[in-house]
Structures are given as structure tokens and as C-alpha cells.
Amino acid sequence: MHALLAASAALASVQQQPACQALTLADVTPEIAPPVPLSAREEAIISVFENNTNAVVNVFDVTLQGTARPPGQDELQPEGNGTGFLWDDAGNVVTNYHVLQSALAAMGRRPGAQRAGQGGQVVAKITLLGMDGFNQTFDGTLVGADRNKDICVLHINAPKSLLRSVKLGESRALRVGQQVLAIGNPFGFDHTLTTGVISGLGREIQSQLGGSIGGAIQTDAAINPGNSGGPLLDSAGRVVGVNTAIFTASGLSAGVGFAIGIDTVRRVVPQLIATGKVVRPALNIQISSEAVARQLRVNRGAVVQAVAPNSAAAKAGLLPTRRALSGIVAGDTIVRIDSKPVAKPGDLALALDDYKVGDMVRLKVQRGAGDPQGPQELDINLRLEEETV
């Protein structure tokens, strides 16, 4: 009887407790903080990206591989991947030479193929992002290429509505610490933005093809494989360089990247568009390597190894390295061109980038290097010619 009464009391107690309520999505969803206005710096970066992303293109190298197909029906197979940007509203695209190295080399190997600089050959597939958010791909035909400066110009026949060219700035006015942005296609991820600062200016770099490029920009903005040929922009959205190389043992970005200064690019690209080639001002002399110069007991300047016959340098009396009864005599050593010092052979080539064919220059040369009484200093004036040696 007592047990029955206890069970009834327990049942009544349970019935008096409130029933468990079912949980809703609102009960388990945390409160979301309202959006806050972007900072002025964020707004500026976003603006630069959005205003330029449609001018940045994806460049796929293609190699013309002969097959059993009829002439003109060769299969195009993509091999490389890089970045480029629309130079103007006429459909000219700028990228790095090394991005298209395989296709350009194939042109020279193929019977009847046009060589770099003559144009007309399809060397790339170029993908643009339209204002509607969709990609469109076009054939990229060669306009001209400059192997020495690692620059190539292509052309696409795209509708005018798709051609959103970049704005060009100047690289000579840049300052270390200035913010820069890079837009490119690293590892094939198109329209990727990285930011950083200019960490060095006036660098001399060796392109992947062996050419010496002066006035290069060093930046800590991440530059990875696939960024090559893309624009380096300042905070106002102007192109100040063409991303071209990274300095790392692993091949991946390690905080040191380089871009060709836009001032160099502006000297090259118009010539490629107009004539398909670059006409360089030159002294038409051969310069000894630093190792040879040291053997000749010359530790500073650019030693003249040979002078082209009938050149302006020969007519001005510039002396080459030669054999005499006493042994090998060092040629004239160029230590200055106008106001620009020449401390090593590479300085002379870089200094000539600032001139054009027909300009008059004054060379400060030392004659008689290794002479116990010291070399004789001379001033030699001559007119720069088109490069032939």
C-alpha cells in the first residue's frame, strides 16, 4: 500500500514539471555582427583591383606541333602559363618573352615559319575577363619580341567592348616604401591580387634568357610562377612595372620579386608595335668580360675588346685590345659616358638604354691601362649608331 502511494506521488511530480520545448534555428544561430565600413586603405586597394582586373589577361603559350593533318590544321597545345595586360585599345597585349619562349623557339624550328619580330603567327591563347564576368579566349598573334629585355607584344582581335587598357605611370619617380599591387595568374589562379611595398630601386637583374635589365623594381609583393608578364601598379592604379622574376632557391615567392620598370617597357613596346623589332643605340664595340679585364690588370670600367670597322667608334679613334711586342695590350677603358659612371661592363649597356640612335655622347676613356706611369685620360665624342655587333 505504501509502495503504491509512493509511485502515485512520483507520477504526479513528473506531470507537474514543464514539458521540454523544441529548439529552433534561431535558438542555435549566434548573433551576427553588423558590417562595418571599410577603411580608406581597403577601399583604395579594392578600387585599384576592380579598375584594372579587366585589363589583365591570362596568357597560355602554345607550340605548333606538326602532325599528319593537312597544312594549316596543326594542333595547338598549351604549354606555358603567364600573365599579360592590355597596352592599348587596339588589342595589343604586353607580356614577358620568357612566358612564350617555347612557342617562339618553335617558330624558328618550323619550316616556313615567321621569326620573332615579323608577326602574324599564333603563339598564345589569351583569355580576357569581360564586364559581364565571363571569360573569353582569343588567338594571340606575335607583333614583336625583345629577348634582351624580356618583353613580348601580342595582338588579339577582340571586340572593342572587351578592350580595357591600363594607365601607364613612371618608374623613375618611385620611392622605396611606396605601396604597390600585383595582379596576375599565379599557378593558374586567374586575377589574383597581392600587395606589398617597393623594397629596392635601380636593381640590375638577369632575365631568365640571360639579358641584363637595368632599372628593375624590387618588391615584397608576392610574385609566383604565373605572375610573369603581369602589371605592377602603384596606389593610384598606374602600371609602374612588369612583373618578371623572383629571387628564391625554391622557385616560389620568398619576399623578393622583381619587375621591369615601366620606363624601360615604354621605350621598347612602341617600337615593337610600329616595326616588330627594337632598334638599339650602340657604340658597336665588344667589351671584355670582368675576368678578362682583371687579367689585363684593369679593375674598373669597361675594356674595349674589339671595334667594328667603319663604325663611329673606329672613326673616333677608340682603340681595341691588341697584341704588341710586349704582349697583350688592353684596349681603351671606358669609365664614364656623359655624366654616368661606368664601374663595370654591365654599367655601359645599362647607360645606353637612356639614349637613342643618333644621340651624341662623350666617353671618358683611360688609355694605356697597366702602364707603370699610369693611364692617359681622354675625352672621345661620337654619335650613337644602330646596334650591329
* Catalytic residue status for 150: yes
The helix, strand and coil proportions of the chain, stated in percent and rounded to the nearest 5, come to 20, 35, 40
Burial of 340 (0-12, 13-18, 19+ CB in 10 A): middle
Query: Residue 216's closest CA among 346, 337, 341?
Result: 346
Question: Measured between alpha carbons, how far is 321 from 307 in angstroms, rounded to an integer?
Answer: 9
- Phi/psi of residue 315, each to 5°? -70, -30
Q: Beta strand 385-386 with 360-367: parallel, antiparallel or unpaired? A: unpaired
Q: Taking the chain, what is the end-to-end CA distance rounded to the nearest angstrom?
A: 122
Question: Measured between alpha carbons, how far is 161 from 296 in angstroms, rounded to an integer?
Answer: 61
* Catalytic residue status for 165: no
Burial of 211 (0-12, 13-18, 19+ CB in 10 A): middle
- Phi/psi of residue 150, each to 5°? 60, 45
* Catalytic residue status for 371: no
Q: Which of 98, 191, 288, 347 is catalytic?
A: 98
SS3 of residue 298 by DSSP: coil
Q: Which of 61, 150, 234, 353 is catalytic?
A: 150
Q: Which of 171, 228, 253, 288 is catalytic?
A: 228
SS3 of residue 50 by DSSP: helix
SS3 of residue 326 by DSSP: coil
Between the alpha carbon of residue 367 and those of residues 343, 345, 376, 380, the distances in Å are 16, 16, 5, 11
Catalytic residues: 98, 150, 228
